[in-house]
Amino acid sequence: MHKAYRYRIYPTTEQKLFLDRHYGCCRFVYNHFLALRKEKWKNEQASLSGFDCKKMLPELKRQHPWLAEVNSQSLQAAVLTLESAYRRFFKGLGQYPQPHKKHSRQAFSVTQNFILTNGTLRIPKLKTPIRVKQHRPLGGHPKNLTIIRESSGKYYASVVCECVPAHLPISDSTVGVDLGLRDLAVLSTGEKLEHPKWLRKAEKRLSKAQRRLSRKQKGSANRQKVRIQVARLHERIKNQRQDFLHKLSHRLIIENQEVSIERLRVRNMVKNRHLAKSISDSGWSELARQFHYKAEWYGRTVKVIDTFAPSSKTCSMCGYVHKGLKLSQRVWQCPSCLVVHDRDHNAAVNIDIIGQGMPEVTPAERRAAAVSVFSIKQVRSKKHQVGAKKQEALASQ
């Protein structure tokens, strides 16, 4: 199992020049082979593999001697990064690879001969060690190092280690999570986590900084200063969101043997221009990603139920499907068993039960057990009753 550790680093002015030289060379190699692959396909309807590009790298270094000033491993890693981008594109996991820009996030990798110890980092071809804020020790054998310069100008070192999974003792508890916009997450236990709205809170300061940036002359030193201010505001928002999601996912994975969530088609939902900003600020996909890899770390299970399962419209007590439930109804009463439901909590309970895969039982047994159950078989048989309104219901939450 691989696990990444990210540390803040503080290079000197001389070391920054060395790192920036690596960023420039790796960016040049990436963009060169990207253009070459595009041209190859346009002219010959043929493609170049990552292996083909690596074989052409020595000739490229002879044509451009300044490429020899940086670590050869980093140049090879840039070729592999391009190959990985193409593979993700062909698998439908990402967009077509685009050229790397100079002032955006920069990174280069080192696969061998780096040493991280006692708050210092040594990498090939750099004579002096880089100071590192090593706030926690590595949890395994280091395999790969990536040196990152964010758009804000801050530098980080990300170390990938090979670790042994630390599985926790088996727990009897399970939880269902209903994601929304009013409350970021509602748990089947009844707990509601209010949406922090990181972007909305910082929107005024961000807009003011962006207006100042638009007035600056391109290429000027003052524009560069304001650009860094805007980038740092974005970085702060991102860090706040990541911190909240990491704490939430860690707590739920630690406390529960099984976490059930709903598959959300975020790519389709953000097409709604009225809700796109709030949906993007929620980080639903990132939360689901964290659930999955942390479950692998700790020996837990994550269940993902179908998008169109009528979790909000179904009574978690008796299984009755309320066909006429409106999107604006946050609290509703089941016409069959007369139980009053909070819409979001009811959905979370149904998600939990569907995830557990419990068999269908009678309403009397449900009431006797004082639990909410909803079988997968019943969900599938009622799927056609919700149709395309399911995504709108999720967005209104």
What residues contact 190, with CB distance under 8 A and at least 6 apart? 345
Q: Is 172 a catalytic residue?
A: no
- d(Cα 304, Cα 188) in Å, to the nearest integer? 15
Query: How far is residue 380 from each of residues 315, 351, 358, 384, 392, measured CA to CA in Å?
Result: 15, 13, 14, 8, 20
Between strands 120-122 and 130-133, the pairing is antiparallel
Coil vs helix vs strand at 310: coil
Q: Is 306 a catalytic residue?
A: no
Q: Is 52 a catalytic residue?
A: no
Does residue 269 contact residue 279 with C-beta atoms inside 8 Å? Answer: yes
Q: Which ranges constitute the DSSP H helices of 91-220? A: 198-215
**Residue at 2: amino acid letter:** H
What residues contact 372, with CB distance under 8 A and at least 6 apart? 316, 317, 346, 349, 350, 353, 366
* Catalytically annotated residue among 83, 178, 281, 352: 178
* Catalytically annotated residue among 258, 262, 281, 352: 262
* Catalytically annotated residue among 83, 258, 281, 344: 344
Q: Which residue has the tokens 């002096």?
A: 128
Catalytic residues: 178, 262, 344
